[in-house]
Amino acid sequence: EEQRTMLGRLDEARAAARAAGARDVSSDGGCSLRCWELVQLVRMLRSDSDRAADELIDKTAKELRFSVAELAQFRKIFTKWVDIEAVGGTPAPGGEGGPGGGLAKAASKGLSTDTLLRLLQSMGMRITLKQKAELEAQAAKFQEPRQQRGGGCSQLDFPGFLRMMRWLIDSDFAGINDLAADAAQKKKSQPLHSQLLA
């Protein structure tokens, strides 16, 4: 069944290559591919992967009761801090962080617990050693194994980051809700996710 499905996908790639104007396209039903067919197949598989990732993010956001606006803000926060982690730096004064690249790039890298801790401290949170251990234990529940330079480590992907944010808010971790409320009054009622971007 899988083989038949893959042969069907190869034929779809051939049709897409023909539609794009490629002249040197192999025959339908075959197992070999030429350059433009391979390009189309990779595009199709990438689109499938992106669609599945978007569906997972939407499902997670609904499950966690985040609004569309909150989801968009958390995307910016996540991407910003993954970029910061990637360059080993600190937040840029303008708020958008490191080299850029969007959620797909950020999601492929993930966010370490250390960077999550830095993010929270950037809000002015004072976290004790006991709270740090609690944060690390909770983050471990939501982390995905990732390969990084020099070996493997666990990191939060974007759905895991959303779960972590929900836990932080619901548990009022280290007084985050009061801190966000105080900051919101100073910044004319900006919600927590806006404070994380500041």
What does the pLDDT average to over 74-91? 82
Return the pLDDT at 25: 86
Q: What is the pTM of this model?
A: 0.67
Instruction: Say if residue 146's pLDDT is above 90.
Output: no
What does the pLDDT average to over 185-190? 63
Return the pLDDT at 75: 92
Kindly list the domain boundaries of the chain, sorted by start residue. 1-63, 66-198
What's the pLDDT band for 90 if we cut at 50, 70, 90? low
Return the pLDDT at 176: 85
**pLDDT tens by residue, 165-177:** 999 999 999 888 8
Question: In this predicted structure, which of 40-49, 113-122, 143-152 has the lowest mean pLDDT?
Answer: 143-152
Mean pLDDT of the chain: 79
What does the pLDDT average to over 38-60? 85
Return the pLDDT at 50: 79
Return the pLDDT at 2: 84
Q: Distance between CA atoms of 111 and 78, rounded to whole angstroms?
A: 8
Q: Distance between CA atoms of 168 and 181, rounded to whole angstroms?
A: 14
**pLDDT tens by residue, 124-145:** 889 999 999 999 999 988 887 5
Q: Under a CB-based contact definition with an 8 Å cutoff, are residues 71 and 61 in contact?
A: yes
DSSP annotation string for 14-42: HHHHHHTT-S--PPTT-S---HHHHHHHH
What does the pLDDT average to over 57-74? 91
Q: Which residues of 68-104 are buried (b: 16+ CB within 10 A; e: fewer)?
A: eebbebbbbbbbbbbbbbbeeeebeeeeebbeeeebe
Grouping H, G, I as helix, E, B as strand and the rest as coil, residue 77 is helix
What's the pLDDT band for 54 if we cut at 50, 70, 90? confident
Q: Which residue has the higher pLDDT, 89 or 157?
A: 157
Return the pLDDT at 151: 45
Instruction: Say if residue 104's pLDDT is above 70.
Output: no
What does the pLDDT average to over 3-16? 85
| Backbone dihedral angles phi then psi of residue 144, each to the nearest 5 degrees | -110, 140
User: Which tokens sit at 117?
Assistant: 């801790």
